[in-house]
Amino acid sequence: MAGSTRIGVLALQGDVREHARILTDLGADVVLVRRPEELARVDGLVIPGGESSVMDKLSRAFGLQGPLRDAIAGGLPVYGTCAGLIMLADRIVDAIDGQETLGGLDVTVRRNAFGSQVESFEIDLDVPAVGTPPVHAVFIRAPLVEHVGPGVEPLAALPDGTVVAVRAGNLVGTSFHPEMNGEPRFHRLLLDAARDRTGIAA
Ligand code: GLN
């Protein structure tokens, strides 16, 4: 295979394996990232779903918070799903005490926004940025995007207008989990951005 692109999956906590599988199927060379040296080797990064408050604590304990912030500011393409979107948000509503994010996306997200009675649901969403057919989106104790700053492009919304996917520069975030049902098109966006940045032909 001609020069495959190295994509990291932040592997502190969460559904790492599902992301690794999709990325491998797309032809990426997958690196599980738990230390700064691993982060330094990747051309793009997925921050998985899981529990953002735990991921935040572990990223600080593993000395990754600073390197992750620097990588994001330096233009590393990053895709965050669910807890990963929370990690990328500049502001969180309903965070736990002391919870920090990496930031980079000028959005406000509300954690666990859909309430206990509908903690999980699935719906087909039109996402023009990834084309047809609609994306079958799985929401699990998902955040919603409450405020979108200038320069942030909403990529998808629920029928009531609630924004659930965004993009700004090198960063993409979705409230839902495409990796749960083998939906590859968001990961392909990440891979394309990583290839553009490194100049490796697809
Ligand atoms: N509720 C979780 C959080 O706050 C996110 C859930 C998920 O990633 N599926 O981090």
Active-site choice (19, 82, 183, 187)? 82
Q: Phi, psi (5° rounding) for residue 13?
A: -175, 150
Which is more confidently placed, 112 or 2? 112
pLDDT higher than 80, residue 144: yes
pLDDT score of 178: 96
Active-site choice (38, 122, 136, 179)? 179
Q: Where are the domains of the chain?
A: 6-198
Ligand 1 pocket, residue 174 CB under 6 Å:
no
Report whether 36 contacts 15 (CB < 8 A): no
Ligand 1: centre distance to CA 76 (Å)? 23
Is residue 136 annotated as a catalytic residue, yes or no?
Answer: no
pLDDT score of 4: 87
Mean pLDDT, rounded, of the chain: 95
CATH number of 6-198, picked from 3.40.50.880, 3.40.1440.10, 3.40.50.700, 3.30.40.10 = 3.40.50.880
**Which amino acid is located at 147 in the chain?**
H
Q: How many residues does the chain have?
A: 202
Ligand 1: centre distance to CA 201 (Å)? 35
